A and B are shown apart, each in its own frame.
Chain A
Amino acid sequence: MSMLLEVKDLHTSFFTPAGEVKAVNGVSFNLDRRKVLGIVGESGSGKSVTAYSIMQILERTGKIISGSIRFDGQELVNAGEKVMKTIRGNRISIIFQDPMTSLNPTYTIGRQLMEAILLHTNRDRQQAKERAVEMLRLVNINEPEKRIRQYPFEFSGGMRQRIMIAMALACEPDILIADEPTTALDVTIQAQILELMKSLQEELGMAIIMITHDLGVVAQLCDEVIVMYAGSICEQGTADEIFYNPRHEYTKGLLRSIPTAGTAGTRLKPISGTPIDLLNMPKGCPFAPRCENAMKICLTERCERKQINKDHQAACWMNVKAEMEAAQGGTYA
């Protein structure tokens, strides 16, 4: 059976008065059924734009330049709005970072929940309402029959995010894209939401793409991890491989720079420099200007993604160097 989602060499750009911003610059990955894929990166790394490209909900200035997105065997790039409407919210759903602004304050949450159900299924209003109640119960909202008549302001942040999840799952999508779903929430509420997503994923058997900057969230939830920097993937692998055997200097830097229980009383080891300016991309590896181990080749040439082992790929010249050293049985200058 083919992969559920296959993204190949995706390029998405934004055309701004200052020039073309290559937000996603050659991204390829596969997502299997029932898997949780984490996409990690800093602001501006292209992780959200990748997701918006899959959903084709880019802002007007943004455009998919080239590449292919195959969902369940069907090509989505240039498939047209008509096809996308049957997929969006139905077979691929998305939840956004900010549960405060993602809900319409002037409609009851019942109406907002029913909208997706009525649009994508053959249920009548009564059945849609029943489904909405059922979904609210699924995400642990008390007294759903009463709650569907209430407006978003009557709910707390964590509850609104659960309602967003209920809405996204109402049509039993194959893929749920979660774009920083817990960033605006407190840790205790974050734990509730992550726990809920995990159990729903097991129960309903969907795949999840989890977009986050928080490595803690990734460690909690994800089977596979993609690390993005400046619009491209620098490393991809199983969660264990990424955390315990990082093979890209950026990933290593990220893992070193986060405070943990063990770092108290010591200095953190930050990545130096500032995030990249996408209007002013360097010629070689985008991370090279901030990389402390950058070599000459890093500044002039981009490294292709190389297979490290069957569960792990990375695009870093250091691996090539290590390989050559191993082959020659000595150090390479």
Chain B
Amino acid sequence: MKATEREQPLIEVRDLKEYFPVLVGMFRTKPLKAVDGVSFSIRKGETLGLVGESGCGKTTVGRTLLRLYKPTGGEILYKGSPVRSKADITEFRKKATMVFQDPYSSLNPRMTVSDIIGEPLDIHKSYGSPAERQEKILDLMNRVGLNSEHAARYAHEFSGGQRQRIGIARALALNPDFIVCDEPVSALDVSIQAQVINMFDELQEQMGLTYLFIAHDILVVRHISDRIAVMYLGRMVELADAAEIYERPLHPYTKSLMSAVPQPDPKTARANQRIVLTGDIPSPLNAPSGCPFRTRCAYATEACGAEMPEFREVSAGHFAACHRIDALND
């Protein structure tokens, strides 16, 4: 890899905002700030894990990033150039695809496997002849470990794990650089989960793929990611190297999140001092003033309610947004 390539991130997101209008009362709407000023970049060949509780905006980040939603604000850069116009988006979508969470609802039940996998090829007209199309489809099926005899079958004939393979083959159809994986293994059984996780790893090695891996299972994210970002109420609260954030989280929210992970080991589980958060994640419609986490934070002071903490680099490559970070970690 050339030095210039290393410096230039494949994907860069700057101050991304996504507000959804929500009806309050009869005619008035209020913006629901699903994503409120998120910035990060992903290097080529890297896996960035994105974790957080449901409703924190992690799925919205993935979808807005692919321009499935029009961002309310901010900018998305692919290889350094912004993705803005319709033409940009069409080009971008050839190189950036998505694997969805639910392998049941994300595959059209009326289409055969070969049509599902071939659809992106059809849309972007990326084949010369029907024979070439078929060849590409069979190659993709082979790549994700599906039997080519199954090409003419329908999605309902497959198990959850195999369906997820179909979804992955579809995401790979246009030979992308970047895939947003939105909870791709959470609907699968433990024994199948490992097969699919390994496949993501292998495909990344073979094809030089870059992933944004969104999941709520921290052990899975820890396994697959190079770096991990933690979101809370539409904002990023911490971002660091995967081992670093898992072993030495700085933000009180990340700390409680990491300690809440149910360790599959009775002795560790018994010894584990869990930081149990009280209460639930507040509604993004009524986000608290200042630091969004302060209502559940054991260390919140008055200052936390006054001002939004800055997302800053605390140590090399370790970012966090907390007013009390120095007081809590010394």
Contact = CB atoms under 8 A, between A and B. Distances in A.
Interface of A: 42-43, 156-159, 186-192, 194-195, 213-220, 239-240, 243, 253-255, 257-261, 263-264, 267-272, 274-275, 290
Most buried by B among A159, A260, A261: A261
A257 B193 contact: yes
Contacts of A213: 189-190
A264 B265 contact: no
Nearest to A277: B159
Nearest to A184: B54
Interface in B211-225: 216, 218-220, 222-224
Contacts of A188: 53, 256-257, 260, 276-277
Nearest to B160: A43
A189 B224 CA distance: 24
Contacts of B281: 156, 186
A264 B242 contact: yes
Contact of B190 (A157, A192, A195, A254): A254
Nearest to B191: A271
Contacts of A290: 191
Nearest to A238: B266
A258 B265 CA distance: 11
A186 B230 CA distance: 14
B188 to A, nearest CB: 9
Contacts of B201: 267
Contacts of A271: 191, 194-195
A243 B264 contact: yes
B198 A270 contact: yes
Interface of B: 53-54, 159, 161-162, 189-195, 197-198, 201, 216, 218-220, 222-224, 242-243, 246, 256-257, 259-269, 274, 276-278, 280-281
B190 A257 contact: yes
Most buried by B among A159, A188, A189, A259: A188
A270 B195 contact: yes
Given A219-B269, A267-B198, A190 B191 contact: no
A9 B266 CA distance: 29
A287 to B, nearest CB: 10
B223 A263 contact: yes
Contacts of A42: 189-191
A160 to B, nearest CB: 11
Given A257-B193, A274-B192, A275-B191, A192 B277 contact: yes
Most buried by A among B242, B246, B261, B265: B265
Given A188-B257, A270-B194, A270-B195, A239 B264 contact: no
Nearest to A242: B266
Contacts of B265: 219, 243, 260
A218 B222 CA distance: 20
Top 7 A-B residue pairs of the complex, sorted by shortest distance between their CB atoms: A216-B262, A270-B194, A259-B223, A257-B194, A191-B260, A271-B191, A42-B189
Nearest to B260: A191
Nearest to B264: A215
B54 A186 contact: yes
B95 to A, nearest CB: 26
A264 B267 CA distance: 21
Contacts of A194: 262
B194 A187 contact: no
Nearest to B162: A274
B159 A274 contact: yes
A187 B276 contact: no
B274 A191 contact: yes
Contacts of B197: 259, 268, 270
B264 A186 contact: no
10 contacts: A156-B281, A157-B54, A189-B53, A192-B277, A195-B276, A219-B269, A258-B264, A259-B219, A264-B242, A274-B162
A132 B242 CA distance: 45
Given A195-B274, A258-B190, A261-B246, A156 B223 contact: no
B151 to A, nearest CB: 18
Given A216-B263, A219-B265, A254-B191, A187 B222 contact: no
A186 B53 contact: yes
A243 B269 CA distance: 12
A216 B264 contact: yes
A19 to B, nearest CB: 18
A186 B186 CA distance: 12
A269 B195 CA distance: 8
A177 B236 CA distance: 38
Most buried by B among A157, A215, A243, A274: A274
Contacts of B216: 186-187
Nearest to A194: B262
Contacts of B280: 156-159, 189
B197 to A, nearest CB: 6
A143 B151 CA distance: 58
B194 A190 contact: no
Contacts of A189: 53, 280
Most buried by A among B224, B263, B268, B269: B269
Nearest to A191: B260
Given A259-B223, A260-B219, 6 more contacts: A189-B53, A190-B260, A219-B263, A219-B264, A264-B224, A268-B198
A275 B192 contact: yes
Contacts of B193: 257, 270
